[in-house]
Homo-oligomer: A and B are copies of this chain.
Amino acid sequence: MGAEDDLTPAQKTLAQRKQAQKTTSANGTPARRGRKPARAVEPDDADEGIEASDLDLTGLTSVVGYTLRRAQMAVFEDFSARFATLDLTPAQYSVLLVISDNPGRKQSEIARVLGIQRTNFVVMLDQLEKRGLAERTRSATDARSHAVFLTKAGTALLGKARKLQAAQEEDFASLLGPGGRDTLVALLRKVARID
């Protein structure tokens, strides 16, 4: 827990630096999606107020909640930067992934495992469907439910996304050391009580 976001200009992620140019030159305006990726790309305002960090933060930097929050923000931004060219938010990526691994499931099922309110999931799916990435089909057995699938385009995009995501994991591995990444995931799963 802790503050809101954070990330001073100094705390740019690897990927952001790497893709800085790429992102800008990609196309005119990639039809921004979701919250603007914070400051994935911006006029070099580096070191400007980076200092002033003579403030005492020791009360927070050893707190699980705070570091968790900060890490999540950092990873989110890194993800957004990497996925900018695909115009996919983390949430959208997770939806495509789950649909891909569970084709034909009901809307509500997909939403629930991801912890998305089915009411809000409607809009998410609308967007993915509008982009031709996913599609709803009326279930033959239950006229109420919609079976959800990825389109070919959706599968193709997910393929690219998977590669970007794999690259991110590799960067984590090299940042945290060999077993560091695995250890982190294991600890996080315990905290999140997943599985």
- Among A58-84, those with CB < 8 Å from B are 58-76, 79
Other-chain residue from B52, B75, B101 in contact with A68 (beta carbon distance below 8 A) = B75
Q: Which of A19-27, A129-137, A139-147, A169-177 contacts B (4 or more CB under 8 A)?
A: A169-177
Contact A2 B191 (CB under 8 A): no
Chain B residues positioned under 8 Å from A67 (CB to CB) = 184-185, 188-189, 192, 194
Contacts of A66 in B (CB 8 A): 94
Interface centre among A64, A76, A195, by most chain B C-beta atoms within 10 angstroms, is A64
Specify which of B93, B102, B112, B183 is in contact with A187 (CB 8 Å cutoff): B183
Say which residue of B3, B58, B72, B98 sits within 8 Å of A91 (CB atoms).
Answer: B3
Oligomer copy total: 2
Query: Does A4 touch B at the CB level, under 8 Å?
Result: yes
Find the B residue at minimum CB distance from A58: B101
A29: CB under 8 A from chain B?
no
Q: Interface residue tally of chain A, by bracket?
A: 35 or more
Note all chain B residues with C-beta closer than 8 A to A76. 1, 65, 69
In the docked arrangement, what's the CA distance between A57 and B191, Å?
17
**Within 8 Å CB of A90, what residues of B?**
1-2, 65, 69
Name A73's contact: one of B58, B183, B192 (CB within 8 Å): B192
